[in-house]
Structure 1
């Protein structure tokens, strides 16, 4: 089993940082098995191709712009829903991710399973630090990532418990 949890976003644009903050929290709070990689992808695009290729499960955490959702809402999309959503221009760096996903499909290296955990931003203005409403959704987004991992049979151990053994 080869799983990648990828956080994407720009920490200089307020709530655009949520994806990066989710993967930071995951790595800080939990002991991760060897077959689970966690990567802060920032605003990278095609540079992520090798890291994303041939994964059994790719889990992406990101800010997702949606007129239908209130700020701070966690949105979960799976498999074929994800590329469709990226065609709707939902994120400042999505073209890079859409290109990578298209390239992976073209080369036959598309992940077997794809999950997008998105949080609707309240602000994408230049500022370091998230808005309170999106900051308060961090634990819900992290729980969604943990659920996605559980779907692939991964059980996480909290860091405190991992050190006590």
Structure 2
């Protein structure tokens, strides 16, 4: 059986507190899990159209980001497929304009991912700062769990990396 072609893409600006959540989660997943072949994790930072080659013609794209939904800060949301581009009409930061444009460009060139899944959290602050707020930090485990649960629906189970042991 062919392993699904999956991209897990964390986006956000590391200099804008809660806006960095997507990048932090992808880095934590990469640190804590071994993923099977066919699963690629990418820190997309604030890149927009530069991500075209990473996303084009993928079977599954899982995006992790801060999102504005009108819900309370710290609220975790999951969206799929056509719901995702509509969400990016409410921009948290400039990179989301790039994602919206990117998804539109892929549609025009008939290279859209077959499936898009977004795990987002409503930010409490996008003020300059290197640390996420405690509100969004508390949401990170639920966001990771949502990603892992979605991967399970794709028959993908990453293996937790063994803890280092001292001898």
Normalising by the smaller structure, the TM-score range is over 0.9
Residue segments in structure 1 that go unaligned for 5+ positions in a row: none
> Quick one: distance in 1 between partners of 2:92 and 2:150?
22
Aligned length: 161
Does residue 27 of structure 1 match 2:38? no
Listed as ranges, the matches of 1:132-151 within 5 Å are: 132-151=134-153
* 2:21 equivalent in structure 1: 18
The TM-score normalised by the length of structure 2 is 0.92
Shift of residue 140 of structure 1?
0.7
**Could you tell me which of 97, 100, 103 is aligned with 2:99?**
97
Aligned equivalent of 1:50: 53
Structure 2 residue aligned with 1:64: 67
C-alpha separation in 2, matches of 1:60 and 1:103: 17
Task: After superposing the two structures, state which structure 1 stretch, 85-94 or 42-51, moved more.
Answer: 85-94
Give the gaps of 5 or more residues in structure 2.
none
How much is the aligned-residue C-alpha RMSD, in angstroms?
Answer: 1.4
1:83 & 1:90 partners in 2: Cα distance?
Answer: 14
Matched, 1:9 2:15: no
Calculate the TM-score normalised by the size of structure 1.
Answer: 0.93
1:72-111 counterparts in 2 under 5 A?
72-111=74-113
Which 4+ stretches in 1 moved above 2 angstroms?
A: 87-92
